[in-house]
Homo-oligomer: A and B are copies of this chain.
Amino acid sequence: MSGWIEEVRFDARGLVPVIAQDSATGTILMLAWANREALEEAVRTRRGVYFSRSRGKLWRKGEESGNIQELDQVMLDCDGDAVVYRVRQKGGIACHTGHASCFYRTLSPDCRWRENSPVLRSPGEMYGHHGEGASKNETEGRK
């Protein structure tokens, strides 16, 4: 069955935003992007697979950190231009910073970003010597 992918409306770059959500807790883990190939591989392999815009290639989440995502469900929105992956996040860490979720900053009443959760594992531990000095541009492929 491949008709399902025809319902997905990729943007001019061939990408669609994908929200990864913990299927047990409902926590939003990250927002990333997928192209057609990434979505098809995700569904076929039941893993969180994305397209890294910074690296320009498929990004099999966890291939460096070991923190893979087991894919439970895929959901599509009304317009077909946004996707949700409901996943079980291995290691309990989705973010390359070592936080459980990439959305670890919450705006406080006095309008400052405050961390809402701790670092569970240092990037250095997760990625070895590449972990500490990563530039912004590298992070998307390394989450």
Contacts and interface: CB of A to CB of B under 8 A. Distances in A.
Could you say which interface size class chain A belongs to? 35 or more
A82 to B, nearest CB: 4
A55 interface: no
A17 B1 contact: no
A106 interface: yes
A76 B114 CA distance: 10
Contact of A19 (B19, B76, B106, B113): B19
A60 interface: no
A52 interface: no
A73 to B, nearest CB: 6
What is the copy number of this chain in the assembly?
Answer: 2
A35 to B, nearest CB: 16
Nearest to A77: B102
B21 A76 contact: no
A89 interface: no
Interface of A: 1-4, 7, 17, 19, 21, 25-28, 30-31, 43, 73-79, 82, 84, 95-97, 99, 102-107, 110-113, 116, 136, 139-140, 143
CB-based closest 7 A-B pairs: A26-B26, A1-B111, A31-B82, A77-B102, A75-B103, A74-B107, A78-B102
